[in-house]
Amino acid sequence: MTARSIPVFLLICAISALAYLDVILQPEADVGKDSYTYRGHGNFGDSSELYLEYEVLRPYLEFVELEDYIGEGLTLLSTKLEIFVYESPHEPSNMPSPMLIAPAAEDWEEMEITWDNQPDPLSEYEMEAWTSDIIEEHWETFYVTEIVAVWLDETIPNYGFVMYDYLGEPLCFASSDASSRRPKLTLTLNSPAVEEASWGAIKAGF
What pLDDT is stored for residue 192 in this prediction?
Answer: 54
Three-state SS string over 135-204 comes to: CCCEEEEEECHHHHHHHHCCCCCCCCEEEECCCCCCEEEECCCCCCCCCEEEEEEECHHHHHCCHHHHHC
Render pLDDT for 64-92 as a digit per residue (tens, 0 to 9): 999 998 888 888 999 999 999 987 656 66
Count of structural domains, the chain: 1
The partner residues of 109 in beta bridges, in order of sequence, read none
Domain that holds residue 92: 23-203
What is the pLDDT confidence band of residue 121, given thresholds at 50, 70 and 90? very high
One-letter amino acid identity for 45? G
Higher pLDDT, 19 or 184: 184
From the list 138, 143, 99, 105, the residue with the least C-alpha distance to 121 is 105
Neighbours of 28 (CB within 10 A): 11
Render pLDDT for 33-59 as a digit per residue (tens, 0 to 9): 999 999 999 999 999 999 999 999 999
What pLDDT is stored for residue 95 in this prediction?
Answer: 63
- pLDDT above 70 (res 10): no
The partner residues of 174 in beta bridges, in order of sequence, read 49
Question: Is residue 69 domain-resident?
Answer: yes
Render pLDDT for 169-181 as a digit per residue (tens, 0 to 9): 788 999 999 988 9
- pLDDT above 90 (res 3): no
CATH number, domain containing residue 96: 2.60.120
Question: Is residue 10 domain-resident?
Answer: no
Residue 34: in which H helix or E strand, if any?
A: strand 33-38
Residue 194 phi/psi, 5° resolution? -75, -40
Question: Is residue 172 domain-resident?
Answer: yes
Residue 75: in which H helix or E strand, if any?
A: strand 75-85
- pLDDT above 50 (res 6): no
- pLDDT above 60 (res 15): no
